[in-house]
Chains A and B, each alone.
Chain A
Amino acid sequence: MSAPSTFDRSAFSVPGTGRGIVDVFAYRYLLRLLVRKGTLTRYHGSVLGWAWSYVKPGAQFLVYWVVMGVFLGLNHGIESYPIYLFSGVVVVNLFNEAFGNATKSIVNNKALVKKIYLPRELFPIADVFIAFVHFLPQLVILFAACLVVGWVPTVLQLGGAVVAIFIVLLGSTGLGLLFGAINVSYRDSQNLVELIRIFATWTSPVLYSFTMVRDSLPGWMYDLYMANPLTAAVELFHSAFWYPTTSQTMERPEDLGMFTVLALAITAVTMLVGQLVFRRLEGRFAQDL
């Protein structure tokens, strides 16, 4: 039997094809529910619940502060080092959380991916939003600490912090799409991502000052170091939260504005590549999971 000759193709759609990330906007309501589900069930069954969102970064901060600040003496080298440290740590935590979860999101949602067609970008994007929700308590602690020691930021500095968050979210979405799509067929991907996440803390000026990198590496390597979007994001946070609490005599990276623009460009390209690879591999998700 064949289709009637009168049939009008324009009225039909091809199942399983979408416009990628653009379609996620059409599913805003579901995205909101997925984020809600992720945040509600996160600490389910634990007595401390959301307190863990304060305890974990607190413990992490304490370890870094004791080792780097006290043992290695950075407390003396960098003015108000605890705030320097914490403002960098929260940025890297946001990146690690968003990137790590987004990478595993397709595999974690395999029951749905295999049964029902949805724009699959929903899952990594929902995980990035969930990571952002968990970043907020840390941001609150940072605000509180800054206010206690006396903090009067400029509008430009605060704007920089917003840009930094945007860079981290966009970058981790792009990387999450890329590695998440590859992870469906090759679980090597999530192990590689673990490695990247370990590096993330150390390849940005979180625990130490950028001047140490500048003074011990050749110029081109320093430029490469600064071209890391995460470095730009961390330095933007330093400018917004740490710098106003100091005597403002510490050295700041030159051309931070330029590196910020570069970071935005790199994350935009990452996003594009992530989406393209994701679209390319998406057709095999349901059968490879």
Chain B
Amino acid sequence: MPKTSEAGQPRIVIEGVRKTYRLQHTQSFKETFVAWIRRKKISTTFEALDDVDIVVGEGEAVALLGYNGSGKSTLLKLVSGVLRPDAGAVLTRGRVAGLIEVGAGFHPDLSGRENVYLNAAILGMSKSEIEARFDEIVEFSEIGEFIDTEVKHYSSGMFVRLAFAVAIHTELDVLLVDEVLAVGDAPFRAKCKDKIRELVAQDKTLFIVSHDLGMVSELCDRGIVLRRGRKIYDGTADEAIATLKASTR
């Protein structure tokens, strides 16, 4: 079994978590009324996560694996606080930062510089922290002289590089990563992986969702496989990949 308690206090505790989505089939009073008259179902429920227990320790790099609809992203959103569980508890210790859909806070009409400040503040950084890291962020993004150009004129690669650079430079104890490494060109991807490795070496906790199994076995030492909202495997990354390949959607 992978280490959990030897690093002392865990960073993330997920206890008996259940998340149910209710899918509404009617959009208006009229439709609801008609459905009620015809005794049709007004809504159906869908268990995105069912009784999931996970403990992640300090300095662990954990990959969350599963096919589409297995509940991976929902779990990540519960840890980031965007969603709340319907049952059970999610607890985190320290600063949690998410590389989740980087660039969500970018505004196309503002310059790269202004967007760096805005997005970093959205990710919870203070003004002095942003100022201290600004040059590092710009350097990492390789945007150079275009930093004062409006973001709408950026190529999609530049946009993503800048967004990623901001997110990866936030002050954090736990890093959540959701499928963002599939972006950028090969040299930039390699650079991102190096940066993530550096964070893991600093005993930061990494919680990553990815379909890129090569990267998972490279970066992570532990893998958890979800299937239809249930945890079916928790162990080493390589065995998790094997379990995933053997399972069906």
Residues of A within 8 A of B (CB): 1-4, 6-9, 11-17, 27, 29-30, 33-34, 37, 40-41, 44-45, 111-118, 283, 286-287
What are the residues of chain A within 8 A of B100 when measuring CB–CB?
115-116
B10 interfacial contact with A, CB 8 Å: yes
A33 to chain B: which residues have CB within 8 Å? Answer: 117-118, 121
Interface centre among A15, A29, A37 (most CB of B within 10 A): A15
Say which residue of B80, B101, B104, B234 sits within 8 Å of A15 (CB atoms).
B80
Q: Which residue of A lies closest to B19 (CB)?
A: A287
The A/B interface has a contact count, at CB < 8 Å, of: 105
Checking A8, A44, A113, A286 against B9 with a beta-carbon cut-off of 8 angstroms, the contacting residue is A8
- Verify A7–B9 contact, CB threshold 8 A: yes
Contact across chains for A1 and B1 when beta carbons are under 8 A apart:
yes
Would you list the 10 A-B pairs with minimal beta carbon distance, nearest first? A15-B81, A16-B81, A117-B81, A12-B91, A4-B5, A30-B121, A115-B104, A44-B109, A111-B104, A286-B82
Contact partners of A16 in chain B: CB under 8 A: 78, 80-84
State the majority secondary structure of interface residues on B: mixed
Stretch at the interface among B33-41, B122-130, B183-191, B203-211: B122-130
- B17 to chain A: closest CB distance in Å? 12
Task: Give how many B residues have a beta carbon under 8 Å from the other chain's beta carbons.
Answer: 42
11 more contacts with CB within 8 A, not counting A1-B53, A118-B122, are A2-B53, A3-B15, A4-B4, A12-B93, A17-B81, A114-B82, A116-B80, A116-B104, A116-B122, A117-B81, A286-B82
Determine how close the nearest CB of chain A comes to the CB of B86; give it in whole angstroms. Answer: 10
Complex formed: what's the CA distance from A7 to B92 in Å?
A: 12
| Chain A residues, CB < 8 A from B10 | 3-4, 7
- Which residues between 149 and 186 of chain B lie within 8 Å of chain A, taking CB atoms? none
B199 within 8 A of A: no
> For the complex, is B240 an interface residue (Cβ under 8 Å from A)?
no
Q: Kindly state whether residue B55 has any CB partner on chain A within 8 Å.
A: yes
Across the two chains, which residue of chain A brings its CB closest to B13?
A3
Please measure, in the bound complex, the distance between the C-alpha atom of A283 and the C-alpha atom of B98, giving whole angstroms: 19
Query: Can you list 11 contacts pairing A with B, beta carbon distance less than 8 Å?
Result: A11-B93, A16-B78, A16-B82, A16-B83, A40-B114, A114-B104, A115-B82, A116-B80, A116-B105, A117-B80, A286-B77
